[in-house]
Amino acid sequence: MEDFLSVITSVTGLRAAFVSRVPNLEMDCDRDEAMCRLLDTHTAAVHELGFTSAQWWRAEQVHGNRVAVAGASSTILAADGLPVVSDVDGLIAKDAGLLLAIYVADCGAIWLADRRTGAFGLLHSGKKGTEGNILQVALDEMQLHFGTNPRDVIGVLGPCIRPPHYEVDFAATIRAQAKAAGVMDFYDCGICTASDLQAYYSYRKELGRTGRLMALLGRTAP
């Protein structure tokens, strides 16, 4: 587990992970092929956290700001043959036995954990998702479905592209959005994906032909 996720896993019952670049796996390909090549590695990461593939919920990720409740949303099949919740870039949940997944390759993954209600969420927030304030959308949905108060939420922004490798500092915008939403415990890992291609995939630096990093967040059964 990455050190920056320790604040999330400090919440009882939550498990989190971030799967970085896979050494010696050729990734000079488009997203669909990359997902197929990474499937075995990502499935193994799911199992390492103590979940099964049937408990694994993924968002389609269309660079929007829609958020769905995992376990209560219809799915379609992705190119790798596994289901995704269509037309959303974020997932929220509360029940034990659900594991959320988001994929990034310069965009930011945002982990959310409600210390009071036990609700949790995982978001894909790049330039467009940040412009649409997917963080606020997710917090509103968590409040609607689970009674979440933003003051009870811990948030973490994972590795993403940052200046000078990208002209838009959407990480700074996300931090400002978290503060405006009332999330007082928000942590930015500060890592730039484009600065370390040994550890991370970068869509921009690798001209669109690269792999995907995977963020995971789930609640285990008591």
Query: H or E segment at 36?
Result: helix 31-48
pLDDT, position 222: 73
Residue 157 maps to a domain:
yes
Query: Can you tell me the distance from the alpha carbon of 101 to that of 96, in angstroms, rounded to the nearest whole number?
Result: 15
Average the pLDDT over 192-200 and give the result.
97
- Residue 1 clears pLDDT 60, i.e. is over it: no
pLDDT, position 159: 98
Average the pLDDT over 36-47 and give the result.
97
Residue 222 maps to a domain:
no
- Residue 18 clears pLDDT 90, i.e. is over it: yes
**Which residue in the block uniquely carries the two structure tokens 């269509």?**
86
pLDDT, position 85: 98
Average the pLDDT over 181-196 and give the result.
97
From the list 40, 35, 28, 74, the residue with the least C-alpha distance to 207 is 28
Query: Can you tell me the distance from the alpha carbon of 30 to that of 174, in angstroms, rounded to the nearest whole number?
Result: 27
Report CA Rg, the chain: 16
Query: Can you tell me the distance from the alpha carbon of 13 to that of 27, in angstroms, rounded to the nearest whole number?
Result: 34
How do residues 24-39 score in pLDDT, each as one tens digit?
999 999 999 999 999 9
Average the pLDDT over 160-185 and give the result.
97
Q: Per the structure block, which two tokens stand in for 151?
A: 């003051």
Confidence tier at 221 by pLDDT (50, 70, 90) = confident
3-class secondary structure, 70: coil
What is the percentage of the chain residues whose pLDDT exceeds 90?
97
Residue 173 maps to a domain:
yes
Q: Are strands 120-125 and 75-77 parallel, antiparallel or unpaired?
A: unpaired
Domain that holds residue 57: 3-10+24-216
3-class secondary structure, 9: helix
SS (H, E, C) 103-122: EECCCEEEEEEECCCCCEEE
Residue 221 maps to a domain:
no
Contact 1, 9 (CB under 8 A): yes
Over the chain, what is the mean pLDDT? 96
Average the pLDDT over 126-153 and give the result.
98
Confidence tier at 6 by pLDDT (50, 70, 90) = very high
Residue 210 maps to a domain:
yes
Query: Can you tell me the distance from the alpha carbon of 126 to that of 69, in angstroms, rounded to the nearest whole number?
Result: 20
**Residues near 53 by Cβ (< 8 Å), separated by ≥ 6?**
43, 46, 82
pLDDT, position 153: 98
- Residue 179 clears pLDDT 90, i.e. is over it: yes
pLDDT, position 2: 77
How do residues 79-136 score in pLDDT, each as one tens digit?
999 999 999 999 999 999 999 999 999 999 999 999 999 999 999 999 999 999 999 9
CA distances from 9 to 1, 133, 187 (A): 10, 25, 13
Residue 15 maps to a domain:
no
- The domain that contains 173 carries what CATH number? 3.60.140.10
Residue 16 maps to a domain:
no
Residue 17 maps to a domain:
no
Number of separate domains in the chain? 1
Average the pLDDT over 47-51 and give the result.
97
